Amino acid sequence: MAKKGQNVRYELMTTDTAAAQRLYTETIEWKTRVWDQAPADLPAEARGAPPHWLAYTQVDDVDAASQQAVKLGGKVVHGPFDLAKVGRMAILSDPQGAVFAVFKGVEDMPVSAPEGIGEFSWSELNTTDQEAAWSFYSQLFGWQHLESMDMGPGLGTYFMWSDPDKITRGGMFDSAKMMSFPPHWMHYVNVDDVPAALERIVRNGGKVLNGPETIPSGGVIAQCMDPQGGGFALFAPGKK
C-alpha cells in the first residue's frame, strides 16, 4: 500500500476531454470509463492555467502537509478539499512555481509497479533552482537522494531521488532556468516502442518536443505535447 512520498494518482487537467481521450487511448492503449465525480476539464479555479498532468503524492495528513508546504515557501493553489468516497486532497505549488498535489485516500491506495507498460514510471522536475527545490520536497515528503549525474557542459547536474521503498522514482535539474520556461513536472509513461508511439501521437494532433533519445541505461525516451498543450513523456526500457 502507498506510503508518504509516493505518487498514487495522475490526472490530466485539459480543455477537451474527448480529444485527449482519443490521443491517449491510441498512443498508450489505456482504457477509459466515465466517472462523474471528477471531470477532467479544467475547474473554475484553474482557468487560465495551461492543460497539464497533475501528480497526487501520498501524505499522512493533507492539511498538515499543505501548511508545511507554505512554511517551506510553497503556495496552496486550491483546497484542501474532500472528494466523496475518494479522499482528501490539495493542489500546491513549490517555491519555484511547479504545481503538484497531495492526497490522503479514504482507503489504502496501491502503488503500481514502475516497470509495467502503461504505468507512470518516472517524474521529472524541470526547475530554476534545483538545490532549493530539493530542500522543499525532501522535507515535505521525506524523499531520499539516490545519485547525481553530470549532464555535460552547460547542462548541469541531474539529481535523482527514491521513494520510501528505495525505488528510484524521479529526478530534477535546472532545465527550466536554462531554457527560460516555467518550472513544471514532466511525468513519463512506459510504452513498448517509443518511435511507434510518437507516430500515433502526431497522427492524433500531438507534437514531439524532443526525442526519441537513448539514455545511458539503454532505454529510449521522448517528451511530447498533446493537442491541448498538456506535456507528457514516454519511456521504453532497453533490451536486456
Three-state SS across 66-133? Answer: HHHHHHCCCEEEEEEEEECCCEEEEEEECCCCCEEEEEEECCCCCCCCCCCCCCEEEEEEECCCHHHH
C-alpha to C-alpha distance for 196 and 213, rounded to whole angstroms: 14
Q: What is the pLDDT of residue 113?
A: 64
What's the one-letter identity of residue 9?
Answer: R
| Digit-coded pLDDT (tens) for 166-177 | 777 899 999 888
Which pLDDT value is given to residue 44? 44
Cis peptide before 212 (omega within 30 of 0): yes
Query: Which amino acid belongs to residue 41?
Result: D
Q: Judge whether 148 and 210 are in contact, CB under 8 Å.
A: no
Second-level CATH architecture of 7-105: Roll (3.10)
Q: How far is CA 29 from the centre of its chain?
A: 19
Question: Which sequence spans correspond to the domains of the chain?
Answer: 7-105
At residue 185, the pLDDT reads 96
Q: Are 160 and 173 in contact (CB under 8 A)?
A: no
Give the residues of the chain that fall short of pLDDT 70.
35-49, 109-115, 154-155, 239-240
Q: In the beta sheet, which residues pair with residue 104?
A: 88
